[in-house]
Structures are given as structure tokens and as C-alpha cells.
Structure 1
Amino acid sequence: MAAMLPTTEFALLRRLATEQVTGRAPSLVAAVVRDGEIVWSGARGEVDGGIPDNATQYRIGSITKSLVAAVVLRLRDEGALDLADPLGKHLPGTSFGDVTIAQLLSHSSGLTAESPGSWWERTPGGEWSDLNASLTAREAKHRPGRRFHYSNVGYGVLGELVATLRGTSWLDALRDEVLTPLGMTGTTERPAEGHARGFAVHPFADVILPEPEHDAGAMAPAGQLWSCITDLASWTALVGGDTRGVLDQETVAEMREVAVVEDGDNWTMGYGLGLQLVRTGGKRLAGHTGSMPGFLACTLIDPATRTGALAFANTTSGIGILSLTVDLIGIADDYEPALPSAWRPADIDPALLELTGLWHWGPTPFHLKVLANGWLELAPANGGGRSSRFRPLGEGNWLGLDGYYAGETLTVERDTEGTPTHLDLATFIFSRTPYDPGTPIPGGVDERGWRS
């Protein structure tokens, strides 16, 4: 494990220790991740009479949802489904087959928050057939897509979707496609040797009460898993962009895009595709919180600095697990801000250089640059207005990745000698000079040309 400066480590430990005391947690563990590695970890309290370490298992609750979402996105990337597909296309026989897979992932499907019957987090669960039978039309609480409404049920449904398309259990698919490739061998469905036991702490006395643990059945994809610092650090790094071949970086970036917000126009809490999003202190963090009776958990990372943090506690309530995790990231970046990577010449196809430079949309000048990864960037020369990055599709075409032109195709048109003459972008023509009459400017160019 790489080390941080002693002053940074003390500040991190003090924040952790203060939270454990004020929140009265039997134990509290945390770590900071940077550039894919654990650079600090700490623990306070005890587990079975000893100090917990990075291998001690805690229940991670709803962080399970993010892992399930990764398998769904893998299915999408393989072409087995489309996020706009209605659920009924792949999982027939429900009363809500019109909701889309994207809506289920982002908690905008309108489905009820909890499964009907006894509270699933403290009650052993049944099979999918039992859960499905209980989800009648009245369990649709909002019009699909209307608003954010957190739905544990939705992820029970997504677990069954994974099982159906993979022909195996959701857990086996997750283990084969995500956990094993990331080296997360300490992440299990039920507690293994060396786990922390979950407790409730009395609100008015310093005594504790053991909380139950069980198999949630069909609701397990909503919050069943147990994990440890070492394992969840690997997942935290993936969310930050260190994907290790499990997902494409573009897919992870898509998961981090805000799909719905929880608290209005000036949002601080939002949700993407299986990931919670937090805006605070000028940072935009991605990850997830988790809670089950006896446990609290959180993982967040700032993709901009690649600094993340995670924390586990074996208490039902009392610990500000989200604020603690945010503060650990802030302390790490404030005390030891990440240095920018050294500039180095990029390995760029020389043929792309002839595309660079000044282009004009009508009279407005734009600069076209080649990025280090072979992508293109088109932006107004004055710095304001529509700008986008594009990745190559082949045969002179590029796909817009962000901004106004996200999803649109940029085509480089050439003359008979192969020289680039103009760019065609969503019917907009960009020419080397303003309104070049030799290019197919929509509406044509006045034959008398520019005049005083």
C-alpha cells in the first residue's frame, strides 16, 4: 500500500476516530483510494475483540446495486439488450413490462420502493415467482420516467433480468464477470470467516443489540452482498475509470452521467445508471451508499482527481457514512492534491494532422484539435458556444461524445485528390474559410461574395 504524508494520515484518522465516537459505532473502517491503489486505511473500535483490518467483511447493502448494474451494462455492450428496451421484451409476465431497463437502473421506473409484505431487509426472501406475483399494478407509484423514486424492488427485477439473459443466477454472473476479474474474492453473498457482526445501538444507553442476517431471496440483488476494504477499493477504482477490462471507460462514464436528480435544479444528489452522484465543494463524486440492519457502507470517487474513499460500520444508524466518505476525499485532496501527469508527445496518426486548425460554421471560427487518444475536439475559437469531442467510427466518420453534438456523426468530406474540403456535422457545414462557395453551404452563398 502506498503511503500518504504523516500529517495527512493523522487528519484522516482523526476524522474517522471522531465519527466512531460521536456515532457510537462498534467498529468503523475506511480507506482512501488514489490512482487505483489504497493509499491509506484506518480502523476504530473492535470486531470479536480485535481491531478490524482491510480483509474484515462488512455488509455493503445497496452498493450491491452498482455491481448488478455493471452486469446489465455488459449485456448492453454485447448487444443482448438496449437500455431503451421495455422490460417485457426480455422478462415477460410482469405487470410493469412497459418500464425501460434504463428507468429501472436509474430509479425512475415509478415502481414501489419496497417489496410487498414484511420488510425484506429483516425477513428471509422468497423466489422470483413469489416477488413477481406480489407486484400487482398498484405497485406502480409514479408514471415511468416522471421522477426519481428509489426502488429496491427495481433491482430485484434487474437481478432476475440478468439471470434470464445469462441463463444462470445473478450472483454467478456477477462473480464471473465482475468480482473475479477485479480480484474481489472476499465479496460473498453470505458472511464468511472474519466478518463483523451487525448491531443496533440503543439511542439512550451505551448498549448494543445483534441484528439479524438472512438470505433475501429474489430481493438479494438490491442489497445482499458482503465485502471488505481491499475488495471494494477495486470497485471504487473502476467507478473512477480504472476499469481493468470489466467495462469500457465510455460505459463507466455513461453510468456516471446524471439521469435523475433528487433535490431540484441546484441538485446535490442525483442518480445515474446504478450509481449515486454527489455534488459538493466543487466536486462531482460517483459511487453508492449502502445500509442493512446492523451495517452502513459507502464508496465514492472523484473521477477528475481519481481520489476516492470508502467506509464501513457495523451499526444500524448513527454514523454519517456519506459525509464521512466525502470528508475523507476532501482531506486527501486538500492535504495532498494530485499532481497533473507530465505532458508527453502523443502517438497520433499523422494523417489526422491535416484535419486540425481553423474551420468555420458560417462566419463563426472553430478550432479542430486531435486529442491524445486519436479523438477529435471541435470548439469555438473564442471559447464560448457548442463544443464536442468525437471518437472515430472509420471511413471518415466520427461520433459525438458530449455537448450539443453528442450522438451525432461528423463526416470529413474530401475532393478527388483526397484533400479535406469541409466537415458535415448534423447538416451543419464547416468550411476552411467563412461561407466557402466551393462547399455545399445550405441555402448557397451569394454569388457577389463579401462586400463593404
Structure 2
Amino acid sequence: MTTSEEALLPGTRRALLHRIAVAQSEGRTPSLVAAVVRGGRAVWTGARTSVDGHASAVNVQYRIGSITKTFTAVLVLRLRDAGVLDLSDPLDKHLPGTRVGEATIAELLSHSGGLAAETPGPWWERTPGSLRPGLVDVLGERPLVHPRGRRFHYSNPGYALLGALVEKLRGAPWEAVLRREVLEPLGLHRTSVQPEAPYAGGWAVHPWADVMLPEPLEHLGPMAPAGQLWSTAADLVRFAAFLTRGDERVLSAESLREMSTPAAPVGAADVADGYAYCLGLELRHQHGRALVGHTGSLPGFLACLTISVADDVSAVVLTNCTSGPAPFTVAADLVRIVAQAEPRIPALWRPLREADPSVLELVGPWYWGTYAFALRHSADGIVSLEPLAGTGRRSRFCSNGDGTWVGLEGYYAGELLTPVRRPDGTVSHLDLGSFVFTRRPYEEEAPVPGGVDPEGWRGIG
């Protein structure tokens, strides 16, 4: 086992090693490499291998399959942030002639453009990309299988289109743009389109016998932006840290938060599985926590990178088998082990440096009808509105700088919170998207919609 886990307790390290050992043994994979990131750095790495030459496993390349899509999505978001495109733009505006150009860039990123899941045969993951030299070959005669924007339907060809979009707007091959704009700035020197030694061979393990068959290693051609990349556990640790914190040289933390926000309509099965697709990232719920990242598979390889933002813990799992241990389940377990055994130490509470009297005037209890809420102000400049009892609508709000506030999440995301003042300057009530919040339930002096019975509160009598 390769280790850099001094920051973790011995019992935690033992539990992590046990989990990947069970995964490698019961999953019958030739090798498995894993890493855990906490606080932006690797705190544990481990490997189990029955394959010669994997001694320094964290630097051995594995194929990462659809984790490639996250890299492609980063390139598209960079184009948006540079003002080259808008996510609401139809594809035709920038890449005409595809026959699916009414789909927006956001819909392609979130797999809600209505495109087919796969290319026309033969199976693109196991055959040379030269069999599909152009986008017409990638899309085939029936590129659309659903109305656009209506449902999530995972589409590999959709990311081939996004890769072609990057090439068109940057005037360079997708691989060159990726290296220049993402891999080099982040120091991902062992992430590449073609395998670079040392790298793991891809294997198919017989389902009923302990024997193996080598899988072909093909260049995917135009489909490369959907699943071509090779990487290492060490490089994906750096990529996980970037996805958590951002890097202004590549993409801001704000844009990365947008990438991890659900953006596609989901079906009943996805809701039941706690799954949603964002903009190049998957959101899953496991062990009571939200996990953002991506899985990947190609013949001979399985991979997962997943992040618990709340715990500030990420995990990477790489294997070299076509079917075997479920990489997301293993990665989610690694996150859970660390988060439960060594919970995140809360940041030090600090008071505000300066108190704004106009904001302090707003804090405390408010009532929407008879529902009781509290408005709180924290040192980060955010105000939060939350129910005082039970479940209910809650949101954080950031200041617009003019006395109004905009919702950041939940039901009130994007909605305007306006403190309405009396002629003498004191606060009469809060207006939140037409809802009136008052200091007392159905306060007579406030403009409660529908009015308040003039006889006031009373018993049944």
C-alpha cells in the first residue's frame, strides 16, 4: 500500500484498507487503486493488486471513462465565463448543421437535449474511432429519441458535440485545448488522451471462472470528449481538490457550484435512487449525504470520483476490469468512513467586524401568516430565513447592495427579499416574492394580503 495518510487515525486507515481489500477480492478485479482527499489534500491512498508492475499504483494510469465528461464540461463553462457563449444558446448558433442544433448547450451538458444514448453500431467503446470520422457518423439517422428539455436521458454523443463545439470556438483540437486550459494549470501531468507508461491493462474477468481476457484499447475519435481520458489516482486527487475549491486560472468556485447544481428533469427511478444530473457532474445521495462527482466505465476499466462538500471529503476509485466492484459504492463508503470516524472540525466562530444597524433591525422572529420563522445574520454577510419549528421553506440570501436581498437556494432561490419601511424609516414588514412576513401573526398594521379581521384574535365563544 502506498500511503500519505499520517493525518488520519490508525483505525480510520485500517477501515479504509479493509474496504478496498473487500472490493478488490469480492469484485474480482485485477487491481484497485483508491485515494481520499480532505481539506484539499490527499490524506490516504491505497492499492490492492495482483498485477505485476503496479508497485507505485497512485501514479499508474487507468482509463477513467465518463469522468472525461467533467473535463469537457469545464472547458464549456470556461467559454461561457469568457463571454464566448451562453448556456441558453442553441447549439446551431455556434456549431450549425448537426440536425440536433435546437438543443441548448445547457441541455447537452445536462443530458436533457433528447439525444440518443449511444452512437449507431458497432459499439463505439470497443471499436476504432476511425469508424465514426465525423459528427454525422456519431449521430446517425435517428439522433433524437425524446423531446428536448423534457427529461434526463444520458447521451454520450451529446458530449461528442460539446467537444466539437470547444474545437470550433477555440480553433484547436479538443485534446490541445484541454491540456492548455485545464491539465497544465492544475498540474495534471499524468492525465492524457493516450496511455503513457506505466498504465494498467484493461481486463474482462469471466463471470463464472477466475480467468481473464484482455480488452482492446481503442482511440475513440470524435467520441473522445465523452470518455477517452487516462489518469491516475494522484492526478484525480488534484482534480477533486479543484472541483471543491476552484482555481481562478481554470474555473471559479462560483462556476463550479453552478456545475454541481441539478439541471436536468429526472424520472421516477432517478428520484428513487437519489440521483440527479447537473452540468457535467452527477449528484447522488448515499448514507444521508449529498455526493457530487462522476463515474466512468469503458471495457476493461471502472472509475469514480465523488465529493461530499459538507464533509470536505472526496474519494477516488480506479479499477481495471469491465465489470466488478461498483466504484461509486466503494468511493461513497470511503467518504463515509472518514466522515463518520473523524468528523469535520467546524470553522472557528468569529463575530462580525462591523455591525450594520439596518441589517440588525431585520433579525429575529417573523411570521408568514401563523408560521413562525427566524431571520439570522452571519459573519459572512449572509442572512438566512428558516422555520422555527418543523420543516418548511428555508433559504439563505445575499445582499444586492441596495437594501434588498436575493435568495440563494431552495424555494426562494432567485426571489427578492425586500424590507418595506414606514415613513419614519422603521421596518413595517418583509416582502418575499409577494409573501408578507410580519413581526406578529397577521399583524393588523401590516398590509397582509386579504386583510385581517378587525375583531382580532378570539376564542370559539
TM-score under structure 1 normalisation?
A: 0.88
Residue 107 of structure 1, CA deviation: 1.9
Decide whether aligned partners of structure 1 residues 76 and 432 sit closer, same or farther in structure 2, where only a CA change above 3 A counts. farther
Is 2:377 the counterpart of 1:370?
A: yes
For residues 398-445 of structure 1, the C-alpha deviation after alignment (integer angstroms, 9 at most, x for no partner) is 221112211112233446776544433222333445566766555666
Is 2:299 the counterpart of 1:293?
A: yes
| Structure 1 residue aligned with 2:48 | 44
Secondary structure in 1 matching 2:148: coil
| Structure 2 residue aligned with 1:406 | 413
Residue 221 of structure 1, CA deviation: 0.5
Secondary structure in 2 matching 1:298: strand
Residue 62 of structure 1, CA deviation: 0.5
Is 2:384 the counterpart of 1:380?
A: no
| Structure 1 residue aligned with 2:309 | 303
After TM superposition, the structure 1 = structure 2 runs for residues 194-343 of structure 1, keeping only pairs within 5 Å, are 194-239=198-243, 241-245=244-248, 246-258=250-262, 259-261=264-266, 263-343=269-349
Decide whether aligned partners of structure 1 residues 343 and 213 sit closer, same or farther in structure 2, where only a CA change above 3 A counts. same
Secondary structure in 2 matching 1:232: helix
For residues 352-387 of structure 1, the C-alpha deviation after alignment (integer angstroms, 9 at most, x for no partner) is 323322344455543221133212212234454322
Residue 8 of structure 1, CA deviation: 1.8
Deviates further, 409-418 or 396-405: 409-418
Deviates further, 154-163 or 393-402: 393-402
From 150, 162, 177, the equivalent of 2:181 is: 177
Decide whether aligned partners of structure 1 residues 110 and 207 sit closer, same or farther in structure 2, where only a CA change above 3 A counts. same
One-letter amino acid of the counterpart of residue 383, structure 2: L
Structure 1: unaligned runs, 5 residues or longer: none
After TM superposition, the structure 1 = structure 2 runs for residues 86-97 of structure 1, keeping only pairs within 5 Å, are 86-97=90-101
After TM superposition, the structure 1 = structure 2 runs for residues 51-130 of structure 1, keeping only pairs within 5 Å, are 51-126=55-130, 130=134
Decide whether aligned partners of structure 1 residues 71 and 54 sit closer, same or farther in structure 2, where only a CA change above 3 A counts. same
After TM superposition, the structure 1 = structure 2 runs for residues 441-452 of structure 1, keeping only pairs within 5 Å, are 441-442=448-449, 450=456
Decide whether aligned partners of structure 1 residues 267 and 209 sit closer, same or farther in structure 2, where only a CA change above 3 A counts. closer
Q: CA RMSD in A?
A: 2.9
Cα distance in 1 between the residues matched to 2:392 and 2:213: 59
Given that 2:126 and 2:216 are in contact with CA atoms closer than 8 Å, whether structure 1 keeps it comes out as yes
One-letter amino acid of the counterpart of residue 91, structure 1: L
Cα distance in 1 between the residues matched to 2:165 and 2:283: 24
One-letter amino acid of the counterpart of residue 19, structure 1: A
Q: Percent of aligned positions with the same letter in both sequences?
A: 51
Decide whether aligned partners of structure 1 residues 260 and 181 sit closer, same or farther in structure 2, where only a CA change above 3 A counts. farther
Residue 154 of structure 1, CA deviation: 0.9
| Structure 2 residue aligned with 1:396 | 403
Given that 2:201 and 2:320 are in contact with CA atoms closer than 8 Å, whether structure 1 keeps it comes out as yes
Decide whether aligned partners of structure 1 residues 158 and 345 sit closer, same or farther in structure 2, where only a CA change above 3 A counts. same
Cα distance in 2 between the residues matched to 1:243 and 1:260: 26
Given that 1:408 and 1:426 are in contact with CA atoms closer than 8 Å, whether structure 2 keeps it comes out as yes
Residue 40 of structure 1, CA deviation: 0.9
Decide whether aligned partners of structure 1 residues 201 and 265 sit closer, same or farther in structure 2, where only a CA change above 3 A counts. closer
Residue 100 of structure 1, CA deviation: 2.4
Given that 1:299 and 1:310 are in contact with CA atoms closer than 8 Å, whether structure 2 keeps it comes out as yes
Cα distance in 2 between the residues matched to 1:411 and 1:8: 48
